[in-house]
Amino acid sequence: MSCECKGPTPRWSTLASKPASSVIRDLLKLAARPEVISFAGGLPSPEGFPVEAVAKACQEVLATQGKQALQYSMVEGEMILREQIAKRETMKGIPTTADQVYIVSGSQQALDLLARVFLDPGDKVLVESPTYMGALQAFDLVGPRYVELNCDEKGLNPAAFGEECRNAKFAYVMPTAANPTGLTIDEDRRALLAQKAREYDMWLVEDDPYGELWYEVEPPKSLRYWAPERTIRLGTLSKILAPGFRLGYVIAPADVLDKFASMKQAIDLCTAAFTQRVAGQTFSDDVLVEHLPNVRARYAKHAHAMLDALAEFMPEGVTWTNPIGGMFIWVTLPEHMNATTLMQDVLAQNVAYVPGEPFYANKPEVNHFRLSFVTVDPEVIREGVRRLASVIKAHI
Ligand SMILES: Cc1ncc(COP(=O)(O)O)c(C=O)c1O
């Protein structure tokens, strides 16, 4: 029975007592109104979810391995899925065995495990600027000290890295179609990043949820290829299959995986065996062979619709990134403008984006916002960008 009455104030932990950043949360609540053309979401498009193939895989799993599927799993994960993930990594040119792959409950859990396994309060963590806000939220569990890495219009710029990298616990990097910028680091920069990692003795955390969602051009090899001995690679099924599975994975040297496993055991014992086996079955049924090209084509179409609309409607002085894959475009307004305060007027036109502020670890730059395009129809994207551009024009 739920209690509607107000009880005494609980004795919160220090972490829970921190005030939540309410301005952006309130704005995003308004963005959820049905009449709003929302470029604020970060969800994959449900249009292409392979519902029938998953239903078939569920039946197959229950019929052939029902008892194991309904049992607890091993903390490392179910072998069928680990093998399939290892096979995909190997296909991408980086030989990987199933015992190098541990399953987690979404890659967000891996970010939480990183905080628990690597960080003490005040420890140095290197991040891109801007970076994924969900990673900052996970690392904030421990209260690290963030150092923002040098980035330019091509993303992370390792040529400029220096002593600030020394003694960091790790550098958290999204090399491909990053959230929020959509930028992809080229091959030369990846190789140089590996070199710098060795020079400054830093571990690399490669978060790669969007690496398989390229449009026309395949991205360069993963960071793990360049520095396997010091890369912790995070992947997820959320964007290549569906986030409802809540399945992600970590590929890393054995001692890191062991620490992750003992920490994970204390959190949730294991990830659900059932979803792992169903996902493993969909992989074995070759569902991705057809499904992934469809997702790539759909996302490319939406990205082009948004890029065309931006080129058509945005006034001079506004710039944006040109992603080769993924779900996001990062827009930069003239420096005197503030995307958080502008959002009120944008919402009044029934359009929404995510203001850039929460994506910064230290000092937010306020003249940016993130656009997400995969859940909005191409014709609607054009209308949304037209309205957005007219508000920006009025403010410029
Ligand atoms: C960069 C990045 N990392 C991690 C995640 C978490 O993904 P999941 O927990 O669904 O695997 C997301 C989700 O949007 C993301 O954008």
For the chain, how many residues are written?
Answer: 396
CA of 207 to the centre of ligand 1 (A): 8
Residue 2 pLDDT > 60, yes or no? no
Ligand 1 midpoint to CA 8 (Å): 36
Among 133, 179, 372, say which to mutate for ligand 1: greatest number of ligand atoms within 8 Å of CB: 179
In the predicted model, what is the mean pLDDT of residues 120-145? Answer: 96
**Atom number of ligand 1 nearest to Cα 247:** 11
In this prediction, residue 32 carries a pLDDT of 83
Instruction: Tell me the best of 176, 238, 328, 359 to mutate to test the pocket of ligand 1, counting ligand atoms within 8 Å of each CB and taking the most.
Output: 238
pLDDT digits (tens, 9 = 90+) for 178-206: 999 999 999 999 999 999 999 999 999 99
pLDDT of the residue at 5: 77
18 pLDDT tier (thresholds 50, 70, 90) = confident
User: Which of 268, 273, 111, 137 lies closest to 205, judged by CA?
Assistant: 111
DSSP 329: E
Burial of 282 (0-12, 13-18, 19+ CB in 10 A): buried
What pLDDT sits at residue 22?
64
Per-residue pLDDT, averaged over 139-157, amounts to 93
d(CA 77, CA 237): 14
pLDDT of residue 41: 87
Residue of minimum CA distance from atom 14 in ligand 1: 42
Higher-pLDDT residue of 14, 288: 288
pLDDT score, position 184: 98
pLDDT given at position 260: 98
Cα of 298 to ligand 1 centre, how many Å?
A: 20
Distance CA 39, CA 352 (A): 6
**Residue 24 pLDDT greater than 80, yes or no:** no
pLDDT tens digits, one per residue of 317-358 = 999 999 999 999 999 999 999 999 999 999 999 999 999 999
Q: How far is the CA of 11 from the centre of ligand 1 (A)?
A: 31
Q: Which atom of ligand 1 is nearest to the CA of 174?
A: 1
Confidence grade of residue 381 (pLDDT, cut at 50, 70, 90): very high
**277 CA from centroid of ligand 1 (Å):** 21
Tens of pLDDT, residue by residue over 215-274, are 999 999 999 999 999 999 999 999 999 999 999 999 999 999 999 999 999 999 999 999
Which atom of ligand 1 lies nearest, measured to the CA of 243?
10
Closest protein CA for atom 16 of ligand 1: 179
Task: Provide the strand spans (E) within the chain.
Answer: 37-38, 101-104, 124-127, 145-148, 151-152, 155-156, 170-173, 204-207, 231-236, 248-251, 319-320, 328-332, 351-352, 354-355, 368-372
* pLDDT at residue 269 in the model: 97
Quick: pLDDT tens for 44-55: 999 989 999 999
Atom of ligand 1 nearest to the CA of 237: 11
**pLDDT score of 303 more than 60:** yes
The Cα 387–Cα 391 span in angstroms is: 7
Q: Looking at the predicted structure, is the pLDDT value of residue 4 above 80?
A: no
pLDDT recorded at residue 341: 95
- Cα(182) to ligand 1 centroid in Å equals 14
Residues with CB under 6 A from ligand 1: 42, 106-108, 132, 134, 174, 179, 207, 209, 236, 238, 243, 248
Question: Stretch 303-309: mean pLDDT, rounded?
Answer: 98
**pLDDT(23) > 80:** no
- Pairing relation of β-strands 101-104 and 155-156? unpaired
**Once rounded to an integer, what is the mean pLDDT over residues 381-386?**
98
Assign 3 a pLDDT band (cuts: 50, 70, 90).
low
Q: What does the pLDDT look like over 75-106, one tens digit per residue?
A: 999 999 999 999 999 999 999 999 999 999 99
Q: 210 CA to middle of ligand 1, Å?
A: 9
Q: Ligand 1, closest atom to CA 238? A: 10
pLDDT at residue 21, as a whole number: 65
The CA R_g of the chain, rounded to the nearest whole Å, is 21
Residue 178 CA, closest ligand 1 atom number = 1
Element (H, E) at 257: helix 254-268
Percent of the chain with pLDDT over 70: 98
Cα 376 from Cα 301, distance rounded (Å): 11
Q: How far is the CA of 135 from the centre of ligand 1 (A)?
A: 9
Domains of the chain: 19-48+290-395 (3.90.1150.10), 71-285 (3.40.640.10)
Give the torsion sign (CA, 131, 235, 329, 344).
negative
| Measured distance CA(22)–CA(350) in Å, rounded | 20
What integer pLDDT is reported at residue 102 of this predicted model? Answer: 98
Instruction: Quote the ligand 1 centre to 110 CA distance (angstroms).
Output: 10
Beta strand 204-207 pairing with 151-152:
unpaired
Return the pLDDT at 357. Answer: 94
